[in-house]
Amino acid sequence: MENVYSVRQVNSYLKNMFAQDYMLNRIYVKGEVSNLKYHTSGHIYFSLKDESGTIACVMFAGSRSGLSFRMREGQQVIVLGNISVYERDGKYQLYARQIVLDGAGELYERFEALKQELEEMGMFAPEYKLPIPKYPSRIGIVTAPTGAAIRDIINISKRRNPFVQLILYPALVQGEGAKESIVQGIRMLESKQVDVIIVGRGGGSIEDLWAFNEENVACAIFNCRVPVISAVGHETDTTIADFVADLRAPTPSAAAELAVPRIDEILGLLDGYQTEFRQQIHWKIQEMRQEQKKMELKLRLIHPRSQLDQKRQYLADLEDDMRGSMEQKILEKRHRYQLYLEKMKGLSPLKKLEQGFAYVADEQGHRLTSVEQTSEGEELEIYVTDGWIRAEVLEKGKEAYHGNRERT
The answer to whether domain 136-261 has CATH 3.40.50.10550 is yes
Which residues, including other chains, have CB under 8 Å from residue 372's CB and lie 6 or more apart? none
Task: Round to whole Å and give the CA distance between 223 and 197.
Answer: 13
By C-alpha distance, which of 78, 79, 117, 119 is closest to 96?
A: 79
The per-residue pLDDT for 255 is: 95
Q: What is the pLDDT of residues 179-225, one digit of tens each?
A: 999 999 999 999 999 999 999 998 887 788 899 999 999 999 999 99
The per-residue pLDDT for 12 is: 83
Q: Read out DSSP for 377-400?
A: T-EEEEEETTEEEEEE----EEE-
Q: What is the pLDDT of residues 79-130, one digit of tens each?
A: 999 988 888 878 889 999 998 887 666 677 788 889 999 999 999 999 999 9
The per-residue pLDDT for 401 is: 44
The per-residue pLDDT for 353 is: 67
Answer whether 117's CB lies under 8 Å from 124's CB.
no
Residue 154 has pLDDT above 90, yes or no: yes
Does this model's pTM top 0.75?
Answer: no
**What residue spans in the chain does CATH classification 3.40.50.10550 cover?**
136-261
Q: Read out DSSP for 278-323?
A: HHHHHHHHHHHHHHHHHHHHHHHHHSHHHHHHHHHHHHHHHHHHHH
- At the topology level, CATH places domain 7-101 in OB fold (Dihydrolipoamide Acetyltransferase, E2P) (2.40.50)
Q: What is the pLDDT of residues 372-394, one digit of tens each?
A: 888 888 888 888 778 888 888 88
**What residue spans in the chain does CATH classification 2.40.50.140 cover?**
7-101
* C-alpha torsion sign, points 364, 365, 369, 375: positive
Averaged pLDDT for residues 62-66? 88
Residue 271 has pLDDT above 80, yes or no: yes
Averaged pLDDT for residues 45-59? 92
Which residues, including other chains, have CB under 8 Å from residue 75's CB and lie 6 or more apart? 32, 33, 101, 105, 108, 109
The per-residue pLDDT for 406 is: 52
